[in-house]
Amino acid sequence: MKNKNSHSSAINDNLERMAKTLYDYWFVQFDFPDENGKPYKSSGGKMIWNEVLKRNIPEGWEVKQIDRVLKKNENSNRLNAKEYLLRGTIPVIDQGTSFIAGYTNNENLRIKTTRDIPAIIFGDHTRVLKLINFDFVRGADGTQVLLSINDAMPQYLFYHSLLKIDLSNYGYARHFKFLKDSKIIIPHKKVSKLFELNVKCFFDKILNNQLQNQQLSSLCDWLLPMLMNGQVKVE
């Protein structure tokens, strides 16, 4: 089981690196495919000086404050950490480093999402970012659910843009207010949609592996005590 988890983790690391490399190539170096399928900047694509970022960006692209991209979250329901279960029907996602913090059976707290429009979880204290493409319940205080309202900034692209923001200089603080004040580049819709198509398949595989690993870990936590006290025997 350990070898299987290690293998899945290695696969996920490679898939995440591939997605991040593609993001850097397209949105940092600006060598996304142009109309002829050639790298935009390297092929002489027009660049315009942006005073906010103090650098050139592709013509027609914008720079916006994150707060202007965020959907206002009206759902403030959270599950207290004391109520997390080892097993249940709905995963609980919080700001901790574990991908899934626990489970619950409370349908009233369910947040629905899809693989096409995943949710982004941001830890107000921890600065941890998670991409979630399945139904979940928001855990404990400090767990922010981020959704973009800008068609040119779909969720997979939004997630990678947020990964580039460094909030480490603020120490132990409520980081969400600093995140909302940060600036990101808004590309043409055609480029952002093409990026979504490319990376979605990576994250479908990543999240499937993470869920399988979590299920195996939960099974171990449930089975090990019974093996130790003799309730279950392995023939």
Q: What is the pLDDT of residues 154-188, one digit of tens each?
A: 999 999 999 999 998 876 668 999 999 999 999 99
CB 152 within 8 A of CB 177: no
Residue 207 confidence (pLDDT) above 90: no
Among the four given CATH numbers 3.30.70.330, 3.40.50.720, 3.90.600.10, 3.90.220.20, the one describing domain 2-228: 3.90.220.20
Please tell me the pTM assigned to this model. 0.83
Residue 14 confidence (pLDDT) above 50: yes
Least confident of 35-39, 70-74, 103-107, 196-200: 70-74
* 8, HSE (Cβ side, Cα atoms, 13 Å): 17
Long-range (24+ apart) CB contacts under 8 A made by 129-133 are 129/159, 129/162, 129/163, 130/93, 130/99, 131/155, 131/156, 131/159, 131/203, 131/207, 132/93, 132/207, 133/203, 133/204, 133/207
Residue 212 confidence (pLDDT) above 70: no
Predicted pLDDT at 229: 61
Cα distances (Å, whole numbers) of residue 155 to 71, 96, 188, 196: 12, 21, 15, 8
- Say which amino acid occupies 181: D
Predicted pLDDT at 1: 46
Torsion, Cα 63 66 68 72, to 10 degrees, reads 160
Percentage of the chain exceeding pLDDT 90: 65
The domain limits of the chain are 2-228
Predicted pLDDT at 213: 56
Q: What mean pLDDT do residues 13-41 have?
A: 93
- Report, in angstroms and rounded to the nearest whole number, the Rg of the chain calculated over CA atoms: 20
d(CA 99, CA 130) in angstroms, rounded, equals 7
Least confident of 82-96, 123-137, 176-190, 197-211: 197-211
Phi, psi angle pair for 132, to nearest 5°: -120, 120
- 7, burial (CB in 10 Å: exposed 0-12, middle 13-18, buried 19+): exposed
Over the range 19-39, which residues count as b (16 or more CB within 10 Å of their CB) and which as e?
A: beebbeebbeebbbebeeeeb
